Amino acid sequence: MPLLPNDREGRSSKAEPDTIPKKALTASDVMSQPAYTCQPDTDLSAVAKLMWRHDCGFIPVVDASEHVVGVITRGNIITARGTRRLLPELISAAQAMVVTIHSCLPDASVSEVLATMKRFHVRRLLVSDSHLRPQGVVSISDIVRAMARGHSLNAMELVSVMAAIGSFRPTVTLSAAHRPD
């Protein structure tokens, strides 16, 4: 504990620890916002340009009511392009998106965010309201930037998540049309 200046009698005293608990960082504290979105009929060329323009690698796909119906990552674009042998302008977001949506609410703690990322082996997590409308996106990079700004986060927790994500290799079964000879 830090020492306080001497009192009038020359005695030094120790500072009392903070009695006000610090608020844990939440998804809304670290997320990138807004969440740039596209519609299911948006072509992959437009999605890639959106990612480039906003320096992001994750785009929620929303319906006419702004509810998330899927997500697209850079990897999804590469896979769709490589397996279909079509120009990206000829592939829609609906054809490339992942429909399993991993998300959290804005008030989720960063520890909860990291646990979800680790469980589902994802680097980015949609932050949505309770009606699955996008509020932002939290990425591993967002959490690292929060740490660089001096927020106290468990570095080993972050390393554990990154190790889990990096070691995960999904099993893929290719259709006969896409199997190498």
pTM to 2 decimal places: 0.76
Each residue of 18-58: pLDDT tens digit?
444 456 789 999 999 999 999 999 999 999 999 999 999 99
The domains of the chain are located at 27-168
As a whole number of angstroms, the distance between CA 8 and CA 96 comes to: 73
pLDDT recorded at residue 157: 82
> Which of the pair, 159 or 75, is modelled with greater confidence?
75
Average pLDDT of the chain is: 82
Pair 175, 58: CB distance under 8 Å:
no
Q: Which structure tokens are listed for 60?
A: 């929620």
pLDDT of residue 130: 92
Task: Say if residue 2's pLDDT is above 50.
Answer: no
CATH no., domain 27-168? 3.10.580.10
Residue 92 scores a pLDDT above 80 = yes
